[in-house]
Structure 1
């Protein structure tokens, strides 16, 4: 159980729940607490200590969403996974800054597409297997020096934020520089790997394939807020057609309209959802 108390803002009119360790809040509890924090956040002035506390707590409470989204990329190795999580955090922060309770959508459904999208954008924009830009070559050298300096000073591995402050770069640029520093090491797909009992395989034997079920989960998360934005009648038609699997004629009988009219309504709604999904991607 995470300890939660209440602390009043300086104005005396806004009360904020104080969570002892936001990162340890269970996902189920985080959903309810997040609604309270978003409700308070909307009434606070940006830049105030109370606003920063509410925003930072939301970030820490919902870090499990980043770990969930990053899990699908676990095959890339522990070192690169750290970069993926850092990029996913950027997506989480963007989702928090843009979320509104008036959307009447769970924050988890709203945030996951932002997080996954940021990770995909990271891979798309930073594919340097053939060529590494000069600015990243220079940043790689600067990153190595900053990591060594901070590591000696702090006695631990520095965070991306600490490196960014020392290097006078954005956190995104530090993440890019880190990936560039890893880009100079490659392995052949024909490289031999010992499998035990004198057995041997090649690296290519361990290359997996995309799991279609994971793509489906991502699509569900992207589709949920789009369906929530539909009118009540359109949502009901979608439910009848694809959940209860009624025919258009049966739907028409329930609505008191013709099958042709149901077909037009359904086509219009599906077109809207399809365009929304393409925009999200």
Structure 2
């Protein structure tokens, strides 16, 4: 895409890749608090796309869409962090749920069901499920910081591994341990929660699409997602 003067047509490139920004924003909005506006994510995502267009070099050895996805996601995450989007109360609530799950797993030697987690927290099942719905977004930084590289050729687990450029033996060993721990933790999720995580992260399906597959509401999918992430965080605490 070049102008009549032989220079790259930046506007044409922005138009071409704008749908990528919209897709990533709609995927991310399901994991952030309801107070976050989709338009804000799209706006900062476009800034990330502009930066990607300015910095990309074919000699990098990666496709532009892969490179741009990293920049776009990074811009959105930076905006969320700068806005201090997760309240102290939400952080505490997330930790309380993780602690309850951890205690129950140690006691029961299996994955606890929702009613058992609710009882451990001193809540009714309805209150606990409502809490899960409110927790939408508290897991975002955890999962994205563990990976989310955006390479469509990568598998589900590859998206959750750090990519900090540290190739030391210690870092490689830590990555291997994290991979093994994550594989084990995902394998111990209840079957429906495994399906939700796979459809959401591996197949980039949105809540509406997942709800249609499972025959439940979007709100229920959000609850299952929040609970699955809480289970993973509880299991990975020791790693």
| TM-score (normalizing by structure 1) | 0.33
Q: Higher relative CO (CA 8 A, sep ≥ 6), structure 1 or 2?
A: 2
Q: TM-score, normalised by structure 2?
A: 0.38
Question: Which of the two has higher C-alpha Rg?
Answer: 1
Q: Which has the higher strand share?
A: 1
